[in-house]
Structure 1
Amino acid sequence: MYVIHENPEWWAPFASAFAAEGIAAEQWLLTDGSIDLSAEPPQGVFWSRLSASAHTRDHAESKEYGRAVLRWLESWGRTVIGGSDVLEFEVSKVAQHAALRAAGVDVPRTVAVFGTGDLKRRAREFPVPFISKHNQGGKGLGVRRWDTHEEFDAWVDGPAFEASPDGITLIQEFLFAREPFVTRAEYVGGEFVYAVRVDTSAGSFELCPADACVVDPGAAAPAFPPFARREEITADHPLVVQHRDFLRGAGIRIAGIEFVETIDGRLVTYDLNTNTNYNPDVEAAAPASGPGEIARFLGGLVRADAGVLAG
């Protein structure tokens, strides 16, 4: 079992889950190195956890390394979870939006702007408030709310403007939540594991659930837990059923999908994470563990792969 990623800080819960399942897992850190494209890769199952936020850790090249490595593995017929097609969903919100919309999932109205020349004009097609975000983001970084078009114009023209790593900025409708939270539904092997309520009352868009994402670990605890399991969201919830159908059609086996319930009754899916992380407080209370389910799912593939080779 090989795990392809670039951020060792996120490894510990998965290492523990693999050990508990009796699966020997080796990390492939795509931060430097080389591959011989004519050489056969090792036998085994490969799980890609490459992240859209790699550039925030000075690993921007890991995305291109990943594209190359995954294509190489697939060309040799290796079993790859989170393969080259799935990586494109991770690093492009345009790709996510197009696929979700085509599958009949309600998504926010979005305009993709290439470069900056058309940004101010296209933003005026949206009523205020609206948001801008990076096409290639991660952890909610690069997401901003705008309450006037004039403020947005000044930002675009000023020194504080921050471009997406791929140069594509998204302008998106602001979704007014019925209550101040969003929901993240977790899937492993294409099946629902649990849903998490993510508090947004502070107005932040940085919603990564892992401990490694905490910006200020010394800050005072909020009055309510920022992450808590939503027990009323189950496998037969209509949106969960729709998500499962989408994931199966797209070939995505492990994911976290975020949605919001709006004041006008919509259930709007706005983000797809194919390298999902898990909150330890939620994990401690949940009837099933995200990393545990991943270890069981991938362990089954490892055993099946070994059986084929033995046969």
Structure 2
Amino acid sequence: MSKIHVIHENPAWLPPLAEAFDRAGLPWAELDLSRGTFDLASVPPQGVFYNRMSASSHTRGHRYSAELTAGVLAWLTRHGRRVVNGPRALDLEISKVRQYAALEAVGLPVPRTVMVQDEPAAVVEAARRHFAPGPVILKPNRGGKGLGVRLFPSTEALAAYFDSAPADEAPVDGIWLLQDYVRAPRPVITRAEFVGGRFVYAVEVDTTAGFELCPADVCAVGDAFCPVGEQVGEQAGEQPPAPAPRFSIIPEGIEAPLRGRLEAFLATAGVDVAGVEFIRDANGNPLVYDVNTNTNYNAGAEEAAGLAGTVRSGPGALAAYLAEELGRAARLAA
């Protein structure tokens, strides 16, 4: 039977999608690639394969899941199976550097970034050379969920951090990124959600609690970090903002020109489903800094916006899109 196969390594992220698929009466199954064995001489099952492999898979003990997924996607495409978020999307998911190159290739600005593959001393030296006196953001090239993203008010604070940082803090691929801190008019970023390459809605995310920006309820684990007492605003003596919902859907969405440029980027990059995160500078200009091809949706924000359980929700839009793709694949196979 032809069905939707959901490729993943974290079952905790499946329930919202399962509910939407079941509500739409879609046949589906999960393909857990936390580990696996595949006979490459065999023929894959019929259907549509939706790739949800995450850049953060290594943080759940699945160090080689992304590499395994790359092999499975090659096997699927070799046999002509429809893969939503195929090999090119996976390649962007696991490398921010490749994301930035792809974004800049189509004219979308990104924050100034310096890549360092070396010992911490080299990271500190690069920070002093390119970002002194600060502030500066440190992040892993392959992270996911905002994991490992740290804001330092000065390059000397970054140096002090590395003096006591444990050895296992190193990025899984060995590549550190140093990045400009963009002082936004408000402490928020925007995450624009796309399904089938088309805009669905935009979420405003409050960043005052740090950089853990995964919208899924199961991501609320506090594993992102902004050094206590080292928030840039605090150093400047600013008053902290009043508490607000962490995730809020923007009723008016985002401006049409930006929406069109992001949709064109996804089409060029071979990405079908994504959450694209950007921040606005003091002049209101957007700078894109992350492309999440393993996107999650915030149930509370969708409920507050009246989207929950509808085709205008993230899971609902995804279910409708995959239903179309499943029908198209069935017609081609007939």
Per the TM alignment, residue 286 of structure 1 is displaced from its structure 2 partner at its CA by: 4.4
Determine the structure 1 residue equivalent to 2:232.
Answer: none
Aligned position for 2:185: 178
- Could you give the per-residue CA deviations for residues 77-118 of structure 1, whole angstroms, max 9, x where no partner exists? 111011111101101000101100111001000011112253
Counterparts of 1:222-233 in structure 2, within 5 Å, are: 223-233=243-253
Where structure 1 has 5 or more consecutive residues not aligned to the other structure, the ranges are: 217-221
User: Equivalences for 1:287-306 in 2 at 5 Å?
Assistant: 287=307, 288-306=312-330
TM-score, normalising length from structure 1?
0.94
- 1:29-75, CA deviations, whole angstroms, 9 ceiling, x for partnerless residues? 01222001111111111000000011111111211111111111111
| Other structure's SS at 2:252 match | coil
- In the TM superposition, residue 148 of structure 1 has moved relative to its aligned partner by 2.2
Aligned equivalents of 1:198, 1:159: Cα separation in 2? 28
CA displacement at 1:242 relative to structure 2? 1.0
Amino acid at match of 2:179: Q
Task: Give the equivalent residue in structure 2 for 1:137.
Answer: 143
Q: Alignment length, in residue pairs?
A: 303
The 3 A distance-change label for structure 1 pair 123 and 163 is: same
Indicate if the aligned counterparts of 1:229 and 1:286 stay in contact, CA closer than 8 A: no
Task: Give how far 1:157 is off.
Answer: 4.3
Partner residue in 2 for 1:48: 51
User: How far apart, in 2, do the equivalents of 1:31 and 1:145 lie?
Assistant: 31
Evaluate the alpha carbon distance shift between residue 259 and residue 286 of structure 1 in structure 2; reply closer, same or farther with a 3 A threshold. farther
- Name 2:12's counterpart in structure 1: 9
What residue is the counterpart of 2:271 in the other structure?
Answer: 252
- Alpha carbons 2:247, 2:298 under 8 Å: kept: yes
| Cα distance in structure 2, aligned partners of 1:245 and 1:296 | 21
Runs of 4+ with >4 A deviation:
none
Amino acid at match of 1:2: H
Whether contact under 8 Å (1:53, 1:138) holds in the other structure is: yes
Aligned-partner Cα distance in 2 for 1:157–1:38: 51
Q: Which secondary structure does the structure 2 equivalent of 1:212 belong to?
A: helix
Partner letter of residue 252 of structure 2?
A: E
User: Partners of 1:159 and 1:289 in 2: how far apart?
Assistant: 41
SS at match of 1:111: strand
Q: Are 1:307 and 2:307 counterparts? A: no
Give the residue type in structure 2 aligned to 1:227.
F
Are 2:189 and 2:205, in contact at CA under 8 Å, matched by a contact in 1? yes
Letter in 1 for 2:88: D
Secondary structure of the residue aligned to 2:276 is: strand
| Residue of structure 1 aligned with 2:221, choices 206, 210, 215 | 215
Aligned to 1:118, the other structure's residue is in SS state helix
8 Å contact 2:86–2:270 — kept in the other structure?
Answer: no
Unaligned runs of 5+ in 2: 223-241
Distance (Å, rounded) in 1 between the aligned partners of 2:327 and 2:25: 11
* 1:146-196 superposed Cα distances (whole Å, 9 cap, x missing partner): 122222223334443511100000000001111111110000001100000
2:60 & 2:315 partners in 1: Cα distance?
23
Q: Distance in 2 between matches of 1:126 and 1:264?
A: 21
Letter in 2 for 1:279: N
